[in-house]
Structure 1
Amino acid sequence: MKRRRNILRRAKGYMWGRKSKIKLAKIAVFKAGKYAYRDRRARKRDFRGLWNLKINAALRERGLTYSRFIHALKTSKIELDRKILADFAVHHPKLFEAIIAHAAKK
């Protein structure tokens, strides 16, 4: 009974028989868990792609390419991750320009 109650508690809010019938609820909860596990990993990939896109767009406006900029960052030993760089590119363009200038110097 405890296991059934736990499954039905997790299926609360589902539609049709998936919220009340134990067999359907069990399948729905299992699938929801699979999707949640998969998408927690996909979210990380999606955000990294979005950050790269924002950085690339800001660099293209300034006549640079993404790959050359990342290479320049690595050779000048600037260790900023893509999340921070994307934030600088969108919200702090002057700071982003300074980073570009410093990376291009070396």
Structure 2
Amino acid sequence: MPRVTRGFKARRRRNKVLSLAKGFRGGKRRLFRTATEAVDRALCYAYRDRRVKKREFRALWISRISAAAKQNNVNYSRLINGMSKNSIELDRKVLSNLAIVDPNAFTEVVKASGLAS
């Protein structure tokens, strides 16, 4: 009696996993069982790192703002506090970009926040 290969639905499920494993090296790309493990792990990392990416970018923006603020003789926390007191509503991404692209405008923001250098 021949073995049961479970037909079309099983092939479709396996092909879905193997297509997700494209770009992996060796058996992780070719063998269904190892590809399943690798794909599951990769999907977990992808889910986690979509959230980690947001944290890392915020930390990058804060360090850039801090460096630019120090050039204006102000520390980061006083700058953010002064901006909130004077109701200057620029988010950290915009502020970081301003510090890189237009340092003179960043200096004006520092002055407007009541922290003249």
TM-score, normalising length: structure 2: 0.87
Query: Which ranges of structure 1 fall in alignment gaps of 5 or more residues?
Result: none
Which of 73, 77, 83 is the equivalent residue of 1:67? 77
Q: Could you say what the CA RMSD is over the residues aligned between the two structures, in angstroms?
A: 0.9
| Alignment size in residue pairs | 105
Q: Deviations over 1:9-47 (max 9, x none)?
A: 111121111111110000000000011111111111010
1:95 aligns with 2:105: yes
- Structure number, greater radius of gyration: 2
Counting aligned pairs with the same residue, the percent is 39
Query: Which ranges of structure 2 fall in alignment gaps of 5 or more residues?
Result: 1-10
2:19 match: 9
TM-score, normalising length: structure 1: 0.95
1:57 match: 67
- Partner AA of 1:81 in structure 2: D
Q: Deviations over 1:63-101 (max 9, x none)?
A: 101000100000001110000000111110111111111
**Structure with a larger share of its residues in helix:** 1
> Runs of 4+ in structure 1 displaced over 6 angstroms?
none
